[in-house]
Amino acid sequence: MDPMFVLSLVSRWIHVGTAVVLVGGLFALRFVVHPVLAGRPEDLAAIRGRWKKYVHGGIALLLLSGGFNYWRAIAAGRVDGIYHAMVDTKILLAMGSFFLSSALVGRSAGTQKFRDAAPKWAGVVLLLGAVIIALSGVVKVRDNAKQASLADSAAAAAASVGTKAAE
């Protein structure tokens, strides 16, 4: 089996799996944990301290696997202007999401205003996550359709050449 294929597959699994854990975890925190513990700041702080490891580790994994996936798409020649527009938009939205997620689990005084309104900002991060996931789906389906179209064109060209050779 081609080692680059295996590496690409593992990178994609890491990327999607990490996004699932982070978005799902934030959803649970926002809609399940926070409403129950809203009056207990010490418990919320303890949960935030544990969640921080997942947020920071997840951001690192998303940056590494996303960068690799982006490089592979460029190296394979699967990109055009629309691809760049959608993926670059995803990257910008992800950077905003990373900042807000880090602010929500941080301890600095400068980001305290985000923690004070944690449900609101968690909702913003979830919205950003939903848009990123939607764009990812469009990019993937578009890429698959583009590849199928290229394969159909190649098959039609080969059939045309075969017909002309038979004449």
**Distance, CA of 132 to CA of 68 (rounded, Å):** 17
Q: Enter the tokens of residue 86.
A: 């959608």
**Domain with 55 in it:** 3-166
The Cα–Cα gap between 72 and 99 comes to: 26
Write the pLDDT tens digit of every residue in 32-78. 999 999 889 999 999 999 999 999 999 999 999 999 999 999 998 88
Strand ranges (E), 7-164: none
Q: What's the pLDDT score for residue 166?
A: 57
CA–chain centroid gap for 125, Å, is 12
**Under 8 Å between Cβ of 113 and 14:** no
Instruction: Name the stretches of the chain with pLDDT < 70.
Output: 147-157, 159-167
- The pLDDT, as a whole number, for residue 77 is 87
54 burial via Cβ count (<10 Å: 0-12, 13-18, 19+): middle
Number of domains in the chain: 1
Closest by Cα among 81, 98, 67 to 139: 81
- 57-74 as b/e: b if 16+ CB within 10 A: ebbebbeebbebbbeebe
In 3D space, the residue among 91, 63, 46, 114 whose CA is nearest the CA of residue 83 turns out to be 91
69 touches 12 (CB < 8 A): yes
pLDDT of residue 71: 95
What is the pTM for the complete model shown?
0.84
Query: Distance between CA atoms of 92 and 106, rounded to whole angstroms?
Result: 21
